[in-house]
């Protein structure tokens, strides 16, 4: 199997995580805040449109986002990835062949 070329990571994505904060009522709540930016490769996988009630359409687009292992090892399933105004929810994270070289993050795009 050929080695992955490191110059393939040409898209800079932002990693957002749930950060605890105290609101004005002194209650603990969570909100997404940017944790870091990393270089990645974004590969579209599948897409589908589903017609819902009241003539609304639900778009389901999935992507595979590949990052270096050292940069992405802090990423967990409860985080979000942002790229040029697109938001991605993480479905699962795969470490191919357990080589600790890259992480493949399978995501669903959040369509507003």
Q: Could you report the per-residue pLDDT of 12-25, keeping only the tens digit for each?
A: 999 999 888 888 88
Contacts of 41 (CB under 8 A, 6+ apart): 8, 9, 10, 11, 65, 66, 67
Say yes or no: domain 6-110 is CATH 2.40.10.370. yes
d(CA 9, CA 68): 8
Q: pTM for this one? A: 0.77
* Residue 55 scores a pLDDT above 90: no
pLDDT in tens, 56-104: 655 566 899 999 999 999 999 999 999 999 999 999 999 999 999 999 9
> What is the band of 1 on the pLDDT scale with cuts at 50, 70, 90?
very low
The domains of the chain are located at: 6-110
């Amino acid at each position: 199997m050929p080695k992955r070329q490191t110059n393939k990571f040409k898209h800079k994505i932002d990693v957002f995580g749930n950060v605890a904060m105290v609101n004005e009522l002194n209650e603990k709540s969570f909100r997404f805040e940017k944790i870091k930016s990393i270089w990645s490769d974004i590969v579209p996988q599948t897409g589908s449109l589903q017609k819902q009630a009241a003539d609304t359409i639900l778009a389901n687009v999935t992507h595979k986002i590949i990052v270096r292992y050292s940069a992405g090892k802090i990423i967990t399933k409860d985080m979000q990835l942002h790229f040029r105004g697109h938001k991605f929810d993480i479905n699962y994270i795969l470490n191919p062949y357990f080589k600790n070289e890259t992480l493949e993050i399978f995501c669903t795009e959040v369509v507003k």
